Amino acid sequence: MLSDPHRAGALRHCVTIQRPNTVAARSATGADVTDFADVAKDRPALVEDIAGREAFSALQISAESTKRVTLRWAADLAEIAPRWRLCWTPPGLTAVRYLDVQAVINAENRNVWLSVLCREMV
């Protein structure tokens, strides 16, 4: 880890955790419309960049960033799974960034810390 989440003040970011709700509606292209519902708002977290990459495909450049989000374990967060997302506003910015959950690790299965690996499409 780049920072130690056990230190006072290390969880200096706030995230909102959202679960997907598949709505019965379809888009103009016929795809299911997915809406998200808040599960937990303004949870203290540590958001760290792990990796980033750019790819050139179909005459477009796409970029993605992999982040690790460390949260204190809580019973209402035990269900976090891939397809969920985290909403995060970096310090000094006003735009919300959406992080797609890829994996959730309950450190040593002790129900103390959750490490959530996320992907952000830039």
Buried/exposed 25-50: b ≥16 CB within 10 Å, e otherwise: eeeeeeeeeeebeeebeebebbbbee
Residue 113 predicted with pLDDT over 70? yes
Residue 119 predicted with pLDDT over 60? yes
Q: What would the pLDDT profile of 65-86 be if each residue is shown by its tens digit?
A: 999 999 999 999 989 999 999 9
Query: What would you measure as the largest C-alpha separation in the chain, in angstroms?
Result: 49
DSSP letter at 81 equals -
Residue 90 predicted with pLDDT over 80? yes
| Domains of the chain listed by start with CATH number | 13-121 (2.40.10.270)
Cα distance between residue 81 and residue 98, in whole Å: 15
Q: What would the pLDDT profile of 4-47 be if each residue is shown by its tens digit?
A: 666 667 899 999 999 998 666 777 887 777 889 999 999 999 99
Which has the closest alpha carbon to 104: 54, 60, 39, 57?
Answer: 39
